[in-house]
Chains A and B, each alone.
Chain A
Amino acid sequence: MSAHPASIARFPKSARRVATYRDENRRPWTFWVLAALFTTYVLALYGPMICIYVLSFQDVRGGLVFPMKGLSLHWFVDLFTQVRTGDVKGGFERSILLAILVTVLTVVGSFMAGLAFRNRFKGDGVVFYLMIGSLVAPGLVLGIGVGLLFQYLGLQASWYTSALGAHLSWTLPFGVLVMFAVMSRFDRAWEEAARDLGATRWQIIRMVVVPILAPGIVAVALFGFTLSYDEFSRTLQTSGPLNTLPLEIWSMTLNVTSPSLYALGTVTTLASFLIIGVCLGAIALMQKRRSNQLGRQQ
């Protein structure tokens, strides 16, 4: 920091600081440094992705790097017609279905577990550490275990049984941790008030706890969806004969060296934005309807 003039140096240290910090409207130099860091981070976050979206719209001469050659939808058509790209459409559908299943189960499971963990009960530590273990276990290791287990039991591995379980063993602990953070801000006096007014346990959950925790529950849902939609290493050994989308993308990165790969990136990004947009829209609609109802009652 800058050197102080000798005249100020006579004052006690604390008095000097008060004088420099009191001017609240002036941004300190750290603000500008951190603002620059933030801008750089956001540019580095989005820049490369925007590059591939742009490059996916090249024409048939296009390559993997700039400069961009022509403008067409060639590589999108290529994505869905060529045999070499595999079963993109099927993988996509399976991944979406699987992610929806995982989301629903994760929301329900982590909400209930979050409620349970608010109180101490016998065995809660064991469950908690199992959960942490499941969260940190390397995905491929778990995948091997589930794959071998199904093989040993003589069951056919498939995306809606073994892969579903493998995904849940990772999204559920994640969801519970998010639930912890959300519930730590929940004031239990509200529940007690509802109980005093004669609400049943189910009514308290449905009419008090869930509405107040709704934003956190949405966060858990979005986490669950993206973690599953994107999960690769836990799926590798557990998906059975039919691939999910990440597995298709993986095989494409090994075989395909054309902008088809980028076209796939653009399509999957659009799809996830669409799904998330629909979810958020539905929630906004629900809240609007609820506030309208409240308005009419008053």
Chain B
Amino acid sequence: MIASADISRAKGPRWNIASWLYISPLVLVLIPFFVVPILVVLVASFLEHDGFGGMIPHFTLVNYASIFTAALTWKLYLSTIKFAVLTWGLTLVIGFWIAYFLVFHVRNQLLAIGLFLLCTVPFWTSNIIRMISWIPLLGKNGLINSALVSTGAIDQPLEFLLFSDFAVVVAYTHQLTIFMIVPIFNAMSRIDKRTLEAARDAGASRFEIMRHIVVPLSRNGIALGSIFVLSIVMGDFFVVKVMSGGGSASVVSALFEDIGVLQYPPAAAASVVLLLVVVIMIALILRTVDVRKEIAR
């Protein structure tokens, strides 16, 4: 909320009709399809339910009380946050170095753009299909296990490869690394290469150049990528459900079960709590870097 505080100051910008005209399509989508639905969920979370999909207009805190007293809630959040952090770390490390490689090591710019596009092509096919594509590789009789067994490295097929937390993290990383590569690549390609040369001439080591130039100047890309990855993992249930084989659950997959039995108010309360958690996470990232100022320079 730093930016809005700036605006409200006396010397700040004025009401600008042209700007509001330009922004009106965005606002006309956000109000009926984001603001109002979230308010509806907020209201529903305080209602009683009759167990048959109906909601009784009677204020209650039961839905929230049951969320915060259930041991299951903490387990779900712990498991979801574990997946989010693991995926975030992996996609950040892989995405950062791939972007770095493309921007600073590939000297032919056309080749760099070609390789960059090569990384984005799989994004054009369905996420669900991309996830399922790990089955022939990771399965009990999949390629990896058959290869390991036939070379004699192991006697029994490894069970942990598919339908496990491992498989969930693999699938997330497969799907989401691109969300790190694109913004970091974008930020890095704006770094003037002469800065690095100057630093090198002044005697900076590789590590020092990384720490004092490349990382700080890619900060907005890293922040943006982190926002994408964290919010997608926190809001997902499909990957967890399929890739863990039902062995793990996430906050949203539990929420989905509630909707399946038409328990809207408890699901709404869980939604509100989840939304708050995600918003706090994103707000913490936005505190470290003002995305708008950095991008819209």
Contacts and interface: CB of A to CB of B under 8 A. Distances in A.
B203 A130 contact: no
B259 A144 contact: yes
A165 B296 contact: no
Nearest to B258: A144
Contacts of A240: none
B123 A31 contact: no
Contacts of B278: 136-138
B137 A47 contact: yes
Q: Interface residues of A toward B: which range?
A: 35 or more
B35 A264 contact: no
Nearest to B224: A177
A133 B278 CA distance: 9
B25 A112 contact: yes
B4 A21 contact: no
Nearest to A31: B105
B122 A37 contact: no
Contacts of A165: 29, 32-33
Contact of B264 (A140, A144, A181, A226): A144
Interface in B104-139: 105, 115, 118-119, 122-130, 132-137, 139
Given A37-B98, A51-B137, A268-B125, A130 B37 contact: no
Interface residues of B, number: 103
Interface string B1-35: 10111110000111110111111111101101111
Q: Chain A interface mostly helix, strand, loop or mixed?
A: helix
Contacts, number: 303
Interface stretch (A2-10, A121-129, A286-294): A121-129
Contact of B231 (A105, A135, A140): A135
A31 B29 CA distance: 46
Interface in A175-207: 176-177, 180-181, 183-184
A111 to B, nearest CB: 9
B22 A140 contact: no
A232 B37 contact: no
Contacts of B119: 41-42, 45
A268 B126 CA distance: 7
Contacts of B81: none
Contact of B34 (A13, A41, A169, A250): A169
A51 B143 contact: yes
A155 B124 CA distance: 33
Given A35-B101, A49-B130, A265-B126, A120 B7 contact: yes
A48 B136 contact: yes
Given A45-B119, A132-B282, A66 B136 contact: yes
Contacts of B32: 149, 165
B41 interface: yes
Q: Chain B interface mostly helix, strand, loop or mixed?
A: helix
B129 A17 contact: no
B222 interface: no
B251 to A, nearest CB: 8
Contact of A125 (B7, B18, B44): B7
A181 B118 CA distance: 21
B68 to A, nearest CB: 18
A127 B105 contact: no
A109 B200 contact: no
Given A41-B177, A123-B7, A136 B203 contact: no
A140 B133 contact: no
Contacts of B231: 135-138
A122 B136 contact: no
Contact of B129 (A49, A110, A130, A137): A49
Nearest to A134: B34
Interface stretch (B58-66, B69-77, B232-240): B232-240
A46 B122 contact: yes
Interface in A95-123: 105, 108-110, 112-113, 115-123
Given A121-B19, A130-B30, A144-B37, 6 more contacts: A17-B204, A41-B98, A48-B133, A49-B125, A65-B143, A253-B128
9 contacts: A42-B119, A48-B136, A109-B25, A137-B231, A142-B34, A144-B271, A172-B25, A177-B224, A183-B296
> 6 tightest A-B contacts by CB?
A145-B37, A138-B235, A14-B203, A125-B4, A116-B22, A48-B133
Interface of B: 1, 3-7, 12-16, 18-27, 29-30, 32-41, 44, 94, 97-98, 100-102, 105, 115, 118-119, 122-130, 132-137, 139, 141-143, 146, 174, 177, 183, 186, 200-206, 224, 227, 231, 234-238, 242, 252, 255-256, 259, 264, 267-268, 271, 274-275, 278-279, 282, 286, 291-292, 295-297
